[in-house]
Amino acid sequence: MYHFYSFILLMFCSLSLTAQFGPEIVLSSNADNVLGISTADLDGDGDLDVISASSMDDKIAWYKNLGNGAFSSEIILSTTVNMAGSVAAGVVTSSGLVDVVAAGQGDFVYFRNLGAGNFAAEMNISHPSPGGARVEVGDLDNDGFDDIVFGFARSLEWLRSKGDGTFDLPRLIFANSTSNSLDFIQDVEIAYIDTDTLLDVAAASFSDDKLSWYKNLGNKTFGGQNVISSSIDGAISIEIVDIDGDNLPDVLGSSARDDEIVWFLNQGGAIWGTENQLTSMLDFPPDVFGADIDGDGDNDILFASQFNHFIGYFENLGSGTFNVPTILPSAVTGPRVILGADLNSDNISDIICGALGSDQVTCFLSQACLTPSNMNVSDISLNSARLEWDNVQNASSYTLRGSAGSFDTNNLVMISTVNPFYNAGGLSQGTTYFWQVRANCDSISSSTFSETDSFTTLILDLSKCPSPQNLASTNVTNSTAELYWDPVMQATNYVIRGSIDTFDKQNLVFVTTSNNTISVNGLISGRSYFWQVQSVCDKSIKPVSAYSALNSFTTASQKKGLEGKGMFIYPNPAKESVNVKPASEGELSVYNALGQLVYRSFIDRNELKEINLGSGTYYFVYKRQGLITTEKVIMIE
């Protein structure tokens, strides 16, 4: 009871949480006495599935990750693994698919992945030991296939995979002796512990209170026992993980008899520092795990407290310092195993738990408030710009802050928006602006601000009077057209000049407008018009620009005797589409220059039909009341 109440008092010291999780998701309440869990992409769909081993029903099962926080009901691999207590997954064969390995009391089995989440029947892995074991997988000989490590009561052994679903005979890594004990192994870990390229093996042994590791010497052999610690009472869990952010693997462990969670700093070359105690206030912490659950780049420490009936974590504050523990709102009883893995593909570890009291497999999915990324500025003008960034999942709003001239923290303008963009206006021309953005995920959770980005508004060059660009002739009929060009910032007016049939400088018509578009009417059907536009700027600078490049259009042909010809086609020539209006109902067929039919339709009298065609020459054939009318139509680019 002392442990429980002291820990509750300690827990209340944590008032600000940075890791965010959704509600607990129960994958199963039908796994009787869960002793082992693992994660792997078993069905090849790109996300991690969950696997469990439960001892009282001899069951190995997995739970398909359906995405969006949903999982399938249990998919049973076996119910005959006696006292199933450990499970692992890895690429054991040359298929490249993730297989499953499990261990129980005298039962050691392998499930070969056949693809798409299907598995072959369990294959017994021959071994003389009648006892139970902890199991892990890893490629110990660098041949591309994961091998199997067993931690028995007093020995570590491994089976080399041949890549075809068969294995070499067991090889000894280390065994208990009078000079070097290894007594009652509770946990096994495979990791790169020293600085070479070979995976080493570590173990937690209960009866001799040891955390120890065994160097992979290559050539299928291992060195002697290297003791990390023998001072924790009843070592039950070991984890190899970088805790202080120096890219060296440190050691994390827990003990059952003195209820400690401790870690040891790797000082380089697998030389370990003194014990760092995180807590001794739990009641039987059977499992610990290191994973980044808050997205800040360092590994936090997850734990299960079996007799307190809760799970939680220590937030890593960096450089080997930790916040007070945070307890998750879990309903499990007797949590036995815990691990971190990214189940929802947000690049942040989620928390998975197996409980022997409530027979459950559960998880908490991160709902991290990530910092916005991929900032971009577009549509920059004299006094406005569009600021954009990638949308952050779970964000309800965003806060922007910025200043002009430099990023001045004493004079920042703060702006809020619910969209992953902001249209900034009222800016000064020729000015550089600096800005950052953060995501707000709920009333108490926000990301850090992004990196600083900058942009510079345009400058109005009063020494120039540019010519208009991107002229266009649109909505052309037999007598009207609309002319358009890009606006010129310096212009106060525009002069349009043009002529009919050819650009005749001796017979030009001039029109003035203050807008960058103009509608013209009174045109002659079936005729071509050519035009240019000139900018008129402030008289204090260069007063006018050069004329733009020429643009032209052709009005629609107004055919006389509509009933006689049978149909009215306009415009002709045309761009992209042409309009057809018949004098009476009939069938319209359109052929290209090769005589191939490209369009056919029945048209009612006076129905206006728009037909889209690519550039080229076409022949429109209209049949009605025994009469046939043919028109040649030119489509231009």
Model confidence pLDDT, tens digit, residues 492-550: 899 999 999 888 888 888 899 999 999 998 888 888 899 999 999 876 656 888 899 99
Instruction: Report the share of the chain in percent with pLDDT over 90.
Output: 65
Q: Provide, rounded to the nearest whole percent, the portion of the chain with pLDDT above 70.
A: 94
Q: Quick check: 577 and 613 in contact, CB under 8 A?
A: yes
Whether residue 559 has pLDDT greater than 60: no
Stretch 365-373: mean pLDDT: 84
> Is residue 558's pLDDT more than 70?
no
Tokens 């600000």 locate to: 16
Cα 20 to Cα 448: distance, rounded to the nearest angstrom = 14
Q: How confident is the model at residue 7 (pLDDT cuts 50, 70, 90)?
A: very low
Q: How much is the average pLDDT of 349-371? A: 92
Residues of the chain with CATH 2.130.10.10: 25-364
- How far apart CA 155 and CA 167 sit, in angstroms, is 19
Query: 373-457, superfamily in CATH?
Result: Immunoglobulins (2.60.40.10)
Q: Which of 219-228, 279-288, 435-444 has the lowest mean pLDDT?
A: 435-444
Q: Which fold has domain 25-364?
A: Methylamine Dehydrogenase; Chain H (2.130.10)
pLDDT in tens, 284-304: 999 999 999 988 889 999 999
Q: What pLDDT is stored for residue 566 in this prediction?
A: 67
pLDDT (mean) for 236-241 = 98
Over residues 371-400, mean pLDDT: 91
Per-residue pLDDT, 541: 58
Q: Is 493 left (phi over 0), alpha (psi -120 to 50) or beta?
A: beta
Residues 449-463 have a mean pLDDT of 87
- Average pLDDT for 578-582: 86
Question: Do the strands 421-424 and 134-138 form a parallel or antiparallel pair, or are they unpaired?
Answer: unpaired
What is the three-class DSSP state of 588?
strand
* pLDDT confidence of residue 12: 38
- Residue intervals of the chain classified under CATH 2.60.40.10 are 373-457, 462-555, 567-635
pLDDT score of 617: 87
Q: What is the mean pLDDT of residues 56-63?
A: 98
CB atoms within 10 A of CB 205: 26
pLDDT tens sequence across 190-203:
999 998 999 999 99
Residue 416 phi, psi dihedral angles, 5° rounding: -115, 145
Lowest mean pLDDT among 207-211, 374-378, 493-497, 506-510: 506-510
Q: Using CA atoms, how far apart are residues 70 and 84, in angstroms rounded to an integer?
A: 26
Please report the pLDDT score of residue 5 as a whole number. Answer: 37
Which CATH entry fits the domain spanning 567-635: 3.90.550.10, 2.60.40.10, 3.40.50.2000, 3.40.1390.10? Answer: 2.60.40.10
pLDDT at residue 279 is higher than 70: yes
Q: Give me the mean pLDDT over the 204-224 stretch.
A: 97
Residue 19 in this model has a pLDDT that exceeds 80: no
Angle at 244 between CA 240 and CA 246, to 5 degrees: 90
Is residue 77 over pLDDT 70?
Answer: yes
Residue 8 reports pLDDT greater than 70: no
| C-beta atoms surrounding 483 within 10 Å | 25
In order of 107, 223, 285, 541, the CA distances from 232 in angstroms are 31, 24, 12, 86
The span from the CA of 462 to the CA of 62, in Å, is 72
Residues 6 or more apart whose CB falls under 8 angstroms from that of 190 comprise: 136, 137, 138, 140, 149, 199, 200, 201, 202
Pick the CATH number of 462-555 from 2.30.30.40, 2.60.40.10, 3.90.740.10, 3.40.50.410: 2.60.40.10
pLDDT at 594 over 90: no
Query: What's the average model confidence in pLDDT over 127-145?
Result: 89
| Better-predicted residue by pLDDT, 355 or 502 | 355
Q: 478-488, pLDDT tens digit by residue?
A: 889 999 999 88
Count other C-beta atoms under 10 Å from residue 225's C-beta. 21
